[in-house]
């Protein structure tokens, strides 16, 4: 066999590999989308919102500590806390953890909410950087502020976990705005499961473009910037298709750091948050799954699509690029740390479905897709069978990217209907058609940079620029 034939055969085999990989991914997403459609429709046919009023009474509800780690969040911290203080929930406390901010985050909290220093003995159950001072609002006794040395988000959450007074806690980003009934909805599975559900998470939607005043969402809107619109579609796809399908069979490995409620005791038993990883949210959930299997406990980690937390997303490419690189690095760190779960029969479906999914589709996916883009590029020069495979791969890419994104937009309109304007839905639908042409290649390149950072041992977080979403 001469060299040219060998090259031709290798190219053909590589084309088949990419095509088969994409067919497998599309099949998996099709199954999860089908499950999501059934689950969503089942919930809304039952009109579950009619039962939330039952839990507004202290007798039926469970108190929650809301932990808000804040680092350089002066642009939105006051409004976010104001939003939390107005939630419709019987008993809760808000604990803001100032993680050594270099801006006016601490001073703004003290001034706006009339915080005064208190003396309180805190039992240290998980390690965190030293706490300097603890404050309590003179106006609102259930609002606290912890000022500590910088240690990162996970470290700040551990400090809040040590302080928390209630059996359940919620991790909430400092730039987030909650819908008023979000806690009643996200806590409902915990109320009804009699302790079986130890983690419950809600949907995260994009606040850019919404009319938010004094920490309350007055009207839902869509931003004008294409980069934000594409992130809106991406969030819809991730939550409405991916997480509903995985949650249905207790396979969820990621609970968004922007909005999730945890059993405090289970998290303490698992050792709290791990501070030396960029993906502390996923790493904790994986550790909880391991603990559940080790104890042979019938516990669940669930996702509830309706309770919504609105959060600010990057509007500039340089900040979005940093975010996606960080997410990819955090994903790898969690998978690598717990790699022994992969295809491990002791961990059941977590080991045979969840972990292989995150390895094959979420981590190796960008590498294979990037190879596919290179294949498309070189096929233009070689023609012949290469061009035929290139066309096949491009069509599969459109199905994998744009078609599933369009489906998520339709699923949003079919079920939750958070976007009231028909023009917004139409804009989301039209933009989703373009995903394969520009947005997905960009995110693939940024995630590839995250892979290269892993190989180089670069674990920098990268600061994000906030402008604040509430007036």
> Domain extents for the chain?
3-40+363-456, 57-319
**Nearest partner of 165 among 183, 149, 146, judged by Cα:** 146
Tokens of 161: 């976990």
**Nearest partner of 89 among 53, 138, 113, judged by Cα:** 53
> How far is the C-alpha of 398 from the C-alpha of 56, rounded, in Å?
46
Predicted local confidence at residue 470, as pLDDT = 56
Point out which residues pair with 152 in neighbouring strands.
none
Handedness of CA 101, 104, 105, 106 (dihedral sign): positive
Predicted local confidence at residue 414, as pLDDT = 66
Predicted local confidence at residue 108, as pLDDT = 95
Which single residue is written with the structure tokens 């919404």?
Answer: 210
Residues found in the chain:
471
Tokens of 433: 């058609």
Q: What proportion of the chain, given as a percentage, has pLDDT over 70? A: 90
> How far is the C-alpha of 109 from the C-alpha of 90, rounded, in Å?
24
Q: What proportion of the chain, given as a percentage, has pLDDT over 90? A: 47
- Is pTM beyond 0.85? Reply is yes
Predicted local confidence at residue 376, as pLDDT = 82
**Residue partners of 325: CB distance under 8 A and separation at least 6:** 446, 447, 449, 450, 453, 462
Predicted local confidence at residue 463, as pLDDT = 59
**Residue partners of 420: CB distance under 8 A and separation at least 6:** 219, 220
> How far is the C-alpha of 384 from the C-alpha of 196, rounded, in Å?
58
Predicted local confidence at residue 1, as pLDDT = 53
Q: Between β-strands 197-206 and 176-178, what pairing exists: parallel, antiparallel or unpaired?
A: unpaired
> How far is the C-alpha of 398 from the C-alpha of 402, rounded, in Å?
5
**Residue partners of 385: CB distance under 8 A and separation at least 6:** 8, 11, 12, 15
> How far is the C-alpha of 118 from the C-alpha of 137, rounded, in Å?
10
> How far is the C-alpha of 290 from the C-alpha of 153, rounded, in Å?
23
Q: Between β-strands 168-172 and 143-148, what pairing exists: parallel, antiparallel or unpaired?
A: unpaired
Tokens of 342: 């992969």
Tens of pLDDT, residues 6-20: 777 887 888 888 888
Residues in the chain where the model's pLDDT stays below 50: 48-50
Predicted local confidence at residue 151, as pLDDT = 93
Domain 57-319 has CATH 3.20.20.140: no
Predicted local confidence at residue 380, as pLDDT = 76
């Amino acid at each position: 066999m001469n060299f040219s034939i060998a090259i031709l055969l290798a190219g053909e085999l590589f084309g088949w590999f990419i095509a088969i990989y994409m067919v497998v991914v599309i099949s998996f997403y099709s199954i999860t989308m089908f499950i999501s459609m059934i689950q969503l429709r089942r919930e809304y046919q039952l009109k579950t919102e009619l039962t939330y009023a039952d839990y507004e009474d202290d007798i039926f509800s469970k108190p929650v500590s809301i932990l808000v780690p804040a680092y350089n969040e002066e642009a939105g911290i006051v409004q976010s806390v104001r939003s939390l203080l107005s939630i419709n929930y019987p008993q809760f406390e808000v604990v803001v953890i100032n993680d050594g901010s270099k801006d006016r985050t601490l001073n703004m909290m003290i001034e706006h909410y009339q915080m005064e220093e208190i003396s309180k003995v805190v039992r240290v159950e998980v390690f965190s950087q030293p706490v300097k001072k603890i404050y309590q609002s003179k106006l609102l006794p259930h609002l606290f502020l912890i000022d500590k040395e910088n240690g990162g988000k996970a470290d700040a959450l551990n400090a809040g976990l040590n302080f928390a007074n209630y059996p359940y806690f919620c991790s909430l980003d400092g730039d987030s705005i909650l819908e008023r009934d979000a806690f009643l909805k996200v806590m409902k599975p915990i109320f009804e499961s009699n302790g079986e559900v130890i983690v419950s998470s809600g949907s995260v939607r994009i606040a850019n473009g919404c009319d938010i005043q004094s920490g309350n969402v007055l009207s839902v809107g869509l931003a004008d910037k294409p980069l934000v619109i594409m992130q809106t579609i991406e969030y819809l796809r991730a939550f409405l298709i991916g997480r509903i399908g995985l949650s249905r069979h207790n396979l969820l490995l990621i609970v968004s750091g922007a909005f999730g409620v945890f059993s405090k005791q289970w998290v303490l038993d698992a050792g709290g948050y791990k501070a030396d990883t960029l993906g502390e949210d996923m790493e904790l959930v994986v550790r909880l799954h391991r603990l559940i299997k080790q104890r042979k406990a019938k516990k669940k980690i669930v996702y509830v699509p309706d309770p919504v937390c609105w959060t600010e997303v990057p509007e500039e490419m340089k900040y979005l690029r940093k975010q996606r690189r960080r997410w990819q690095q955090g994903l790898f760190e969690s998978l690598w740390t717990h790699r022994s779960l992969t295809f491990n029969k002791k961990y059941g479906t977590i080991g045979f479905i969840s972990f292989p999914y995150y390895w094959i589709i979420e981590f190796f996916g960008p590498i294979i897709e990037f190879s596919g883009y290179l294949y498309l590029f070189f096929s233009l020069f070689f023609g012949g069978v290469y061009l035929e495979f290139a066309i096949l791969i491009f069509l599969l890419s459109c199905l994998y990217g744009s078609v599933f994104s369009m489906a998520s937009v339709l699923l949003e309109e079919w079920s939750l209907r958070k976007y009231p304007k028909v023009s917004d839905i139409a804009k989301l639908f039209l933009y989703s058609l373009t995903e394969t042409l520009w947005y997905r290649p960009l995110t693939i390149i940024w995630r590839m940079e995250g892979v290269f950072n892993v190989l180089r041992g670069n674990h920098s977080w990268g600061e994000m620029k906030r402008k604040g979403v509430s007036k």
